[in-house]
Structure 1
Amino acid sequence: MSTITRSLANLWKVGIKDAFHQMSYIGDTKAGTLIGIDRFGNKYFENTEELPLRTRWVDYKVHDIDASQIEPGWHAWISYAVDKAPSQDPALAYSRRPWEDTDAKPIQNYTQTRGAYKPYNTVKAKIDTWEPVAAERK
């Protein structure tokens, strides 16, 4: 969470509309330079005057926030694995492979949902559960 003076300074820099948008989705006001936009419409920002490890952030186009919506090159940049963003480094930039769809969408992470992968097991269990058998009383 930020201080009131920092929030007011960022409100002055980004404007009321963007500050309200940021408070609604990321819970903080941030002002920085737009580094790039990926093919899914996510916007990536950087501000080197912030605290360490808070200098880079993403404004998701779809506000169902999930890290699987970020492309690999941008994910490496936003997690500080590389210094140059994919918009500045051609090695990290996205290039469509011949087998990919032209209108590809991010693959969601289905962990802890009904769509999660559950392997089917055909091997007999090594340990059986004990089921007590009670004899009838006479």
Structure 2
Amino acid sequence: MSTITRTLANLWRVGIKDYFHQLQYIGDTKAGTLVGVDRFGNKYFQNDEELPLRTRWIDYKNPDFDASQIEPGWHAWMSYTVDKPPSQDASLRYQRRVWEDTDAKTIPNYTATWGAYKPYSTSKSKITMWEPTAVERK
């Protein structure tokens, strides 16, 4: 959360539409410069006047966002691994590999869902579940 003066200043900077959009999706208001847009339509912002490690943020195109929707170069920039964003550094820009599909898509993270990977074992378990036996009363 932020102070009321910072919130009102950001309302003045970003406008009322973006103000409520940010409150709905990131829960805070931030004003900064647009650094770049990736091939999925996600917008990346930076403001060095913010608190440390809160100077970079994403405005996801898809409201059902997931961290797997970030390209590797932008992920490195977001996690402060590199200083220059992929829009300024050619070595971090996305380049389609020969085995990739031509359309832009991501593989969502299925952790904690029914689609999550569940390995199964082909060997018999050493532990068996206790099964109660009920004896008829006399």
The two structures have a TM-score, normalised by structure 1, of: 0.93
Moved more, 32-41 or 13-22: 13-22
Q: Any conservation in 1 of the 2:42–2:60 contact (CA below 8 Å)?
A: yes
Displacement of 1:129 in angstroms is 2.2
Q: Determine if the alignment matches structure 1 residue 123 to structure 2 residue 123.
A: yes
Aligned to 1:92: 92
CA separation of 1:23 and 1:137: change in aligned 2, threshold 3 A: closer
2-side partners of 1:127 and 1:27: how far apart? 47
Alpha-carbon shift at residue 99 of structure 1 (Å): 1.2
What is the count of residue pairs matched by the alignment?
Answer: 138
Equivalent positions of 1:25-36 (< 5 A) are 25-36=25-36
Q: Deviations over 1:34-64 (max 9, x none)?
A: 0000000000000001000110000000011
The secondary structure found in structure 2 opposite 1:91 is helix
Which amino acid is the alignment partner of residue 43 of structure 2?
K
Instruction: Give SS of 2:45's match.
Output: strand
Q: Give the aligned CA root-mean-square deviation in angstroms.
A: 1.3
Find the residue that maps to 1:75 and give its secondary structure: helix
Structure 2 CA distance for aligned equivalents of residues 4 and 27 of structure 1 = 14
Q: Distance in 2 between matches of 1:137 and 1:15?
A: 77
Q: 1:35 corresponds to which letter in structure 2?
A: V
Question: In 2, distance between residues paired with 1:119 and 1:2?
Answer: 44
Q: Which runs of 5+ in 2 are unaligned?
A: none
Cα shift at 1:19: 1.0
Residues 64-94 of structure 1, C-alpha deviations (whole Å, 9 max, x = no match): 1211111111111111111111111111110
Question: Pairwise mapping of residues 1-20 of structure 1 onto structure 2 (< 5 A)?
Answer: 1-20=1-20
TM-superposed deviation, 1:130: 2.8
CA distance in 2, matches of 1:39, 1:52: 28
CA distance in 2, matches of 1:98, 1:135: 67
Structure 1 residue ranges (4+ consecutive) displaced by more than 3 angstroms after TM superposition: 132-138
What's the secondary structure of 1:22's corresponding residue? helix
Identity level (%): 77
In the TM superposition, residue 136 of structure 1 has moved relative to its aligned partner by 4.2
Q: How big is the shift at 1:33?
A: 0.5
Distance 1:133 1:6 in 2: 67
* Structure 1 unmatched ranges of 5 or more: none
